[in-house]
Amino acid sequence: MRSVAAVAAAAGLGLAHIGPAASWLPPVRDRLRPTLAGRGRTGHVALTFDDGPDPVSTPRFLDLLDELDVRATFFVLGSRVARHPEVAAETVARGHELAVHGWAHRPQWLPQPGRDVRELRRARAVLEQIGGVRPQWFRPPFGVLTSGLWRAARQADLRPVLWSAWGKDWEPDRSPAEVRRTVGATLRGGTTVLLHDSSPDGTGSAWRNTLAAVPGIVEDCRKAGWDVGPLAEHF
């Protein structure tokens, strides 16, 4: 009986840890936690990019956003900021916002509270040191927000935010037009758009399709009368 009770208790703890990760599902977070889904001001669309910084791809996005006169939020990995501090610094110098995407890009299904807090605080500190501004936002890798990561984010003084539209642009065979259409399927005023300026390890070329899709996405927003900017202007 004791072993059965122990298994049941462990299962209960596991469910309590994993359960909040159901917020990855758009209908769940849109209905229960619209702010977590990135629902903000109805006249504004937040443009966000994940997985950088990268010395090859990120500067291309910075140049493009300058041409479009758009500022965005870049969810960056602490380990990559430490490796490419000059790219992160340039991102801030161009008027963009840095946010925490974790220290490394891995799912964190198992509860490891000590590690989670240490890594988020470490990432936050690196971003603050490089950018000169304390980051506000946290988006977990893969959007997997367990109860452990909720608590770690609170202890690191970070606010979790996922997304309400995405381009599925990590898929290398998606054309720029497909990325734009996928974003447009759920795009409306108050949306937070998730795109990628890099892959987590800096390999691949899917980012090129994203780069080509961004002008059309911005055009769609402006035609609808929505401003496009970072999360700092969104809520």
β pairing state of 97-100 and 159-160: unpaired
105 within 8 A of 200, measured Cβ to Cβ:
yes
| Dist. CA 15–CA 19, nearest whole Å | 5
Is residue 50 part of the annotated active site? The answer reads yes
User: 17, 44, 50, 51: which one is catalytic?
Assistant: 50
Is residue 169 part of the annotated active site? The answer reads no
- C-alpha distances (whole Å) from 101 to each of 12, 33, 35, 149, 227 are 28, 20, 18, 12, 24
User: 17, 84, 96, 196: which one is catalytic?
Assistant: 196
| Dist. CA 35–CA 30, nearest whole Å | 8
- In residues, how long is the chain? 235
Give the residue numbers annotated as catalytic, written as ranges. 50, 196
